Structures are given as structure tokens and as C-alpha cells.
Amino acid sequence: MSTINAAKREINFKLVYYGPGLSGKTTNLKQIFKHVPAESRGDMVTVDTEEERTLFFDFLPLELGEVGGFKSRLHLYTVPGQVFYNASRRLILRGIDGVVFVADSSPTRLRANAESFRNLRENLAEYKIALEDIPHVIQVNKRDLPDALPMEMIQDVLDPERKIDTFQAVATDFQGVFEPFRAVSQKIFNKFAEVAV
Amino acid sequence: MMSPSILLQDDSAEEVSDILDDFIRSCHLNYAMICDNQGFVLMFESAIWAPEAPPIDSLAALIVSNYAANDAIAKLLGDEDFTESMQKGATSGTFIEKINPRLLLVAIFSDTTSLGRTKMKSSQLIAPLSELVKESDRKDIDITNEWGEINTLMVDKLFEGKL
Ligand SMILES: Nc1nc2c(ncn2[C@@H]2O[C@H](COP(=O)(O)OP(=O)(O)OP(=O)(O)O)[C@@H](O)[C@H]2O)c(=O)[nH]1
Ligand SMILES: [Mg+2]
């Protein structure tokens, strides 16, 4: 649920990168950080373990320009993918405006993708939100793996009816990082414009 | 879908800012802010004696998540919430008071801050602040049909020359 600060003339949106452990959520935020101009972003905050596994979240604030006297701001978060951090994951979803689901192409992670996707639905349900109610896209990451599963196999598990916009990525090379980010942002903005006018 | 909510209106901003400034002065705080439970900062004020403020978005994101985690811990232990939320180091610290389910008042203190006074004062501020900062659906922003498209173009602009 976007927050409007009329006094500061800002409209704030919260975008969450969700997915199984090690699928590349943190890598997405690091790449976005690296590629946007310094004046459009704040510091990236990371709460992680010594092994660089996300423990609570990563956070990256971005600022767009002004439209109609209001500045739009996007707060990007990742959740910790490891199964046992579910309580933290649920907290990060509070007030979510959109989600990028980062799936892993590795053959050993097919089940983990499915479980994480189901877990996303369950955690959203705690906030009485259905996934279909919020802008969402899928990024299938690690397409560079030599044994990467075919796209159809991953999509059959996550989105058998092919209803969700899906992008291939090699996040470590910034390939396919921008496209899902843009797509979900566009959905968020259009949805906001729809309910706000 | 959840509709957008306006939390801080133009006409109450000055009053809220004055309240925070007075809070800072009377307790000798470094900074005071109001943020929502998503981590968005609604108002941030600094003391003239305070060092340059840390990145406030990061600060708010961490404070709010930490508060949310503590809240979840309280519930796990069977409590409604922890009534007091204070973090204290050698020279700095934070004190947090819930204004309402969506908003927090955060005091950031230094080694010269009076903690007793901060606690007392912040509890007195809850009532006036909850009157001034509240959800409203007054729709006085001008969202045109092109609003979504222009914002998307600005996202493209962020990555100009990088793709
Ligand atoms: N081969 C390959 N490796 C990747 C790719 N994207 C990320 N990685 C690597 O995968 C590992 C995990 O990436 P992270 O971004 O930390 O994963 P995460 O989803 O944040 O993991 P958690 O924080 O545990 O949930 C790192 O070593 C990354 O360098 C990719 O596209 N291809
Ligand atoms: Mg991570």
C-alpha cells in the first residue's frame, strides 16, 4: 500500500525480491545499485550472515524524478530465502506494493522454487493479500548454468497457465535484471494511477 | 486492492515539524522522526548541534524492521507488544514510541540527552501527533492518465546508457 507524503510531496512504493535461498535476490539489488546514478539512490543496507546469506533483508532506496509536483520513490527489499527465516520474510512483506519472484535455474532447485512460491502466497495471505492482487513478475535467474533447466519446466511448476510475465536472467552479469524491475514498476505505477484518480 | 493512503497533509506539516523541534530542544535529542510501519519517513528533524544526519532512509528501514521484529518476538512470547523500545550505546541510541498501528515516533539521542525526559515527553506527544498525522483519503494530488507512463520512463532513464 503506497504511502503519500503530501507535505514532502512524495509517493512511496515498496518492491520486494522474493525467492528460494541463493537464487540471486541480493545480486539483483547489488546490480541495480551499481547501474543507477548515485544521485538517484541511497545507501544499500544489508543485514546478512558472515557467509553473505541474507539474515533479515537488503534495502535499497531509489528516487525517480517529479511528476505532477510529486516525487516517486521506490524502496527495494530482498527477503532471506533460507526456509527457516520465514518469520523475517513475513515481516518484510508488510505494506508491499509489488514483487519480483527470483527463481533458480539449477536442476536441484526446482522444488525449492515451487516451495518458495507457495510460501510467498501463504505469507501474503497473512496480510489478506492474494498474489493476483499485487503487481508481480517472475525472473528465472542463473540461465548461464551449464545444466540450467529448460524454461518450460520451471514455468510449469510456477505458472502452468503462463499468466505471469517471466524474464530470463544472469543477474551476476546484469542480464535480465533491468527488465523485470521495469515491468513490475510499470505495473505498480499503473495500478496506483488507476486507484488514485 | 489496498488504496494509497495520505499520511501527512500539507496543512499539518508545519505543526508536526514544530512538535518535533520542540521535542529535540527540550530533551536535547540529536534527531526526531516520524515513520510509518513500512519504513517510510514522514518527517525528520535535526538539532542544530547534531552531527550530519546519517542516511535517513536506511536508518528508518532498520529501525522499523527492528521494531517489527521485536513486536513479533513479544507476540511469540505471548505478549501484546513490548511497551518500551530503547537501544542504547555509549554515545547514541534510539527510543521508539508507537503513535498508532501505522506510525512510530523515533527519538535519536546523544550522550547529553535526558532519557527520563525523553520517555515522558514522547508519551505526551502521542495524542497530539495521532491527531495531526493520520490516514486520509483526501485525493488532492493530480494524477493524470500519463502519470504511470511518465514514471516508467523515469525508470528507463535511471538505466540510460547501461543496457
Ligand atoms: N552462475 C550464476 N550465479 C549467480 C547468478 N546470480 C547470482 N549468482 C550467485 O549465487 C549466489 C547467491 O546469490 P545471492 O544474490 O546472495 O542469493 P540470495 O537469493 O540473496 O540468497 P539468500 O540471501 O540466502 O536468500 C552468489 O554466489 C551469486 O554470485 C547467476 O545469474 N548465475
Ligand atoms: Mg540474499
- Number of Cα atoms under 13 Å in the Cβ half of residue A142: 22
What does the pLDDT read at residue A93?
96
Q: Would you give the DSSP letter of residue A94?
A: T
Please tell me the total count of domains within chain B: 1
**Which tens digit of pLDDT belongs to each residue from A53-99?**
999 999 999 999 998 888 999 999 999 999 989 999 999 999 999 99
- Chain A nearest-CA residue for B71: A91
Residue B113 belongs to a domain: yes
| Per-residue pLDDT at B59 exceeds 80 | yes
Q: Specify the range with the lowest mean pLDDT, choosing from A154-163, A172-181, B90-99.
A: B90-99
Characterize the bridge pairing of strands A3-5 and B5-8: parallel
What does the pLDDT read at residue A38?
96
Q: Reduced to 3 states, what is the DSSP secondary structure of residue B69?
A: helix
What does the pLDDT read at residue B1?
36
Least CB-CB distance to A36: which of B16, B144, B158?
B158
User: By the 8 A CB rule, do B114 and B121 touch?
Assistant: no
Domain range for residue B14?
Answer: 10-160
Q: What is the secondary structure of B74-101 as a DSSP string?
A: HHHTT-S--S-EEEE-SSEEEEEEEEET
| Per-residue pLDDT at B7 exceeds 80 | no
Return the residue in A2, A5, A92, A136 with the most chain B beta carbons within 10 A, the one to mutate for interface testing.
A5
Characterize the bridge pairing of strands B92-100 and B85-88: antiparallel
User: By the 8 A CB rule, do A4 and B4 touch?
Assistant: yes
Find the A53 Cα to ligand 1 centroid distance in Å.
9
| Per-residue pLDDT at A154 exceeds 70 | yes
Ligand 1 pocket mutation pick from A23, A27, A29 by most atoms within 8 angstroms of CB: A27
- Number of Cα atoms under 13 Å in the Cβ half of residue A103: 30
Gap between the Cα atoms of B160 and A116, Å rounded: 33
In whole angstroms, how far apart are CA A188 and each of A68, A154, B118? 17, 25, 40
**Interface membership of A25 toward B (CB under 8 Å):** no
CB-CB neighbors (< 8 A) of A87 in chain B: 72
What does the pLDDT read at residue B8?
80
The residues, any chain, with a CB within 8 Å of residue A27's CB and separated by 6 or more, are: A141, A171, A172
B143/A185 CB distance under 8 A: no
**Interface membership of B135 toward A (CB under 8 Å):** no
Residue B89 belongs to a domain: yes
Residue B3 belongs to a domain: no
Nearest CA to ligand 1 atom 8: A24
Q: Is the dihedral of CA B12, B145, A101, B56 positive or negative?
A: negative
Ligand 1: residues with CB < 6 A are A 19, 21-27, 52-54, 78, 80-82, 141-142, 144-145, 170-172
Give the global pTM. Answer: 0.93
Gap between the Cα atoms of A81 and A56, Å rounded: 10
Residue B102 belongs to a domain: yes
Q: Does ipTM top 0.95?
A: no
∠ Cα B138 B139 B145 (to 5°)? 170
In whole angstroms, how far apart are CA A174 and each of A36, A185, B132, B163? 12, 18, 45, 9
A68/B156 CB distance under 8 A: no
The residue among B104, B24, B100, B95 whose CA lies nearest residue B61 is: B104
Complete domains list, chain A, with CATH: 3-196 (3.40.50.300)
Residue B2 belongs to a domain: no
Distance, in angstroms, between A43 CA and closest chain B CA? 7
Closest atom of ligand 1 to A141 CA is 31
CB atoms within 10 A of CB B102: 18
User: By the 8 A CB rule, do B72 and A91 touch?
Assistant: yes
Characterize the bridge pairing of strands B92-100 and B29-36: unpaired
Residue B28 belongs to a domain: yes
Gap between the Cα atoms of A140 and A17, Å rounded: 12
Distance, in angstroms, between B134 CA and closest chain A CA? 11
What does the pLDDT read at residue B82?
80
Q: Which of A21-30, B54-63, B88-97 has the highest mean pLDDT?
A: A21-30
User: By the 8 A CB rule, do A99 and A15 touch?
Assistant: yes
Q: How many CB pairs lie under 8 A apart between chains A and B?
A: 164
Ligand sitting nearest the alpha carbon of A109: 1
